[in-house]
Structure 1
Amino acid sequence: MTIATNQYAALTEETAIALAKSVYPFPEGAELSSREIGDGNLNYVFRITDSASGKGVIIKQALPYAKVVGESWPLTLKRAETEAAALLKHGEFAPGLVPEVYATDTDLAVTVMEDLSHLKIAREGLIAGESYPKLSSDIGEYLARTLFHTSDFALHPFEKKRLAAEFSNPELCKITEDLIFTDPFFDRETNDFEPQLRLAVEAIWNNAPLQLEAAKLKYSFLTEAEALLHGDLHTGSIFASAEETKVIDPEFAFYGPIGFDVGLFLANLIAQGITRTGEGRKVITDHIAKTWETFEGTFSALWEAEGVEAFKNTPGYREAILEKVFSDALGFAGCELIRRTIGLAHVKDLDGIEEEARRIELKKQALELGETLILNRRTIKDIGAVVRLAEGEAR
């Protein structure tokens, strides 16, 4: 459903209620409440709730600037249209793993969608020590299904190229290009880190082999239109419970290298694992292994059952593709670990550690592991080796 408007205006809690009434079948006379619950960097998020039933909807509205910086950092409103289209497209292939979209409006830059308030943001839950036994298998399946079905392995080339054009997302891609692949590897004003990390950070800036590999990974991100990516898949863009997993916020969606989504999710698991010890650490490393194993198994099954590529039965071809995805994923994971430690946008997993000495030590471990994954991504051959690295870095 499309909402009929013709002019952008930032929603308020009152106008969000009026909008919700116009697109969702609340009972006649329902008393609705509205609360702005967005804690991200780019958008407003309103929860509209029927006080009698407790049921509601979420209204997400893109702002014409980054909340994290302010009006000095303008952003395109088209990202709301991209996000809604990506939710719908990914929902075709991974039903139940993304929220249902009820309505959209291009002029208002609004998406009205399923309320997931019964779930918890996975990052927050993991930090609190909660257990999400289905998280890695659900995300592994989501990754395999969305990435396979939007690739040349499943689509006629005309349809694949049409989708690649539809999901051109240059403004938000530029954010990724800068904040993940460029700024952390140079002395840039956007970087943000404690003074105690200065020597470790300068070592990154002066590491010529590391910079070369980061440049190669950036080039891959810039040029390899392999599948429709979520584009920002971390534990803060996933709602979860013990029984359910939902992926949200694909406003960075575009056609890029398959390993990017895989790598970003693995990196955010690693960041959480670094903070844990003992059995708590094993829970996370098990998730790391299960994510890749589920992705690899599901992707392979889809390849056999639904693949349209003429070479799909050529011995070794599927294995070569998965080997490339794995190598790419490790490199992208390394870049994500580094940027989440010293770049503009950090993760609470590490920043939330109150004891300064421990926080600094764990951040150094994150940087070291990020470097290792980037430099050794072609020689690390299986997910077990990644798990061993994560276990070795955690204390």
Structure 2
Amino acid sequence: MSQYRTFTAEDAVAWAQKFGGLDNPSVLVRAQEVGDGNLNLVFKIFDTQGVSRIVVKQALPYVRCVGESWPLTLDRARLEAQTLREHYQHCPQHTVNILHFDPALAVMVMEDLSDHRIWRGELINNVSYPQAPRQLGEYLAQVLFHTSDFWLQPQQKKAQVASFINPEMCEITEDLFFNDPYQIHERNNYPATLEQEVAALRDDAQLKLAVAALKHRFFSHAEALLHGDIHSGSIFVAEGSLKAIDAEFGFFGPIGFDVGTALGNLLLNFCGAPGHLGIRDAAAAREQRLADIREVWTTFAERFQALAAEKTQDAALGYPGYISQFLQKIWHDAVGFCGTELIRRSVGLSHVADIDTIPDEEMRHACLRHAITLGKALIVIADRIENVDALIARVRQYS
């Protein structure tokens, strides 16, 4: 960390000029810090015409909203850059392009996505991108298949697992997903009116057993190189385009975690829709979210199975019928992890705008209560939900 310094706007401009790949880098003249997260500085770099051309991102050595009392490893910037580069290799159409990375300064230079919008905001505002669920399913299938044992040679896979070990960021996930919401903890953040529902999480032995099993899978199933935090806030969309960003939680883990996190965020929007939209619009938006969930999973499963049939070299893994069994296991994992995402976003530190920005307090609390109830049910009965239609039926049941 001896060479590390926190970037200024001037530093960001200089870095973009040097590593942005423009034919005439001198046109880059101004930076604006736009990061709205807790872990990084993010600068947009503008040209002489006021057009944003490049993005420069620097990891901070601490959690921004807390300060230096919550330190973070800067190595997460390397892991993010390497994860996105690996994913870009297999799915360039749906992964942000990393143009340069400096490990000493924990700085990366990447393509500008100013012509895209963050998907979470568009979902909240009921703006439709019909291609996005299919593209998300394609992204998940491509990057997770091509970093799994179905594609990589055993020695290559084991070397990559070692290279992408990410213990500090994984510990954050382990606490927020599997520990904090199920105990009294200072990081938990929920309205006092929900104390009864949250206390019930702490007292539910069946739920805590299911969460323990999910946590153990997260610990021990190094199936593929995960994005690690693939929610609607780390996805940019435009007409005909979807791009994944922010992969600093990347590591080799259970495939169902990425799939379940993605589905869980669509369900968070489902739960929050009545607080943001009128009755008819909310009902229509909810139906669309359920259709989106079906399309994400169906696209993922069909593409993963097709890739496995075409490319798997291992005789055992390529045995007819095995991939169907494997996908069923991924599905059950995904449903469980989907439930943990709903609960951690409702009870824990990381609330999201799908519910947190609902203006009416009573409605906001009702939507949080809905997300907790739904998340709890999905965790407990994950192994009994056999397919995506059964999931949708369960969601309707708890609505």
TM-score, normalisation: structure 2: 0.95
Residue equivalent to 1:108: 105
Alignment of 1:139-288 (within 5 A): 139-276=136-273, 277-288=282-293
Q: 2:324 aligns with which of 319, 326, 335?
A: 319
- Aligned-pair CA distance for 1:54: 2.0
Q: Secondary structure at the match of 1:87?
A: helix
How far apart are 1:241 and its partner, in Å?
1.6
CA distance, structure 1, for counterparts of residue 253 and residue 18 of structure 2: 36
- Which residue of 359, 363, 370 maps to 2:375? 370
Quick one: distance in 2 between partners of 1:389 and 1:355? 27
1:12 aligned residue: 8
CA distance in 2: counterparts of 1:6 and 1:138, whole angstroms: 42
Q: How far has the Cα of 1:28 moved from its partner?
A: 5.7
Query: What residue number does 2:277 align with?
Result: none
| Contact 1:131/1:242 (8 A) holds in 2 | no
| RMSD (Å) for aligned C-alpha atoms | 1.4
Q: 1:14 to 1:331 in 2, by over 3 A?
A: same
Q: Work out the CA distance in 2 between the residues paired with 1:172 and 1:275.
A: 28
Q: Which residue is 1:135 aligned to? A: 132
Q: 1:263, 1:330 within 8 Å by CA — same for their partners in 2?
A: yes
Corresponding letter in the other structure for 2:306: A
Letter of the structure 2 residue corresponding to residue 11 of structure 1: F
Are the equivalent residues in 1 in contact too, given 2:118–2:232 (CA < 8 A)?
yes
| 1:384 aligned residue | 389
1:350-361 alignment, distance < 5 Å? 350-361=355-366
| TM-score normalised by L of structure 1 | 0.96
CA contact (8 A) 2:255 2:330 kept: yes
Q: Contact 2:61–2:74 at 8 Å: present in 1 too?
A: yes
In structure 1, stretches of 5+ residues that fail to align are none
Partner of residue 289, structure 1: 294
1:9/1:308 Cα in 2 relative to 1: closer, same or farther (>3 Å)? same
Q: Which amino acid aligns with 2:368?
A: K
**Partner letter of residue 236 of structure 1?**
G
Percent sequence identity is: 43
- Per the alignment, in what secondary structure is the counterpart of residue 168 of structure 1? coil
Q: 1:107 to 1:282 in 2, by over 3 A?
A: same
Structure 2: runs of 5 or more not aligned: 274-281
Q: CA offset at residue 176 of structure 1? A: 0.4
- Shift of the alpha carbon at 1:53? 7.1
Q: Is the 8 A contact 1:26 1:50 kept in 2?
A: no
- Runs ≥4 in structure 1, deviation > 6 angstroms? none
Pair 51,377 (structure 1): closer, same or farther in 2 beyond 3 Å: same
Deviations 1:257-306 (A, max 9, x none): 01000000000000001223321111111110000000000000001000
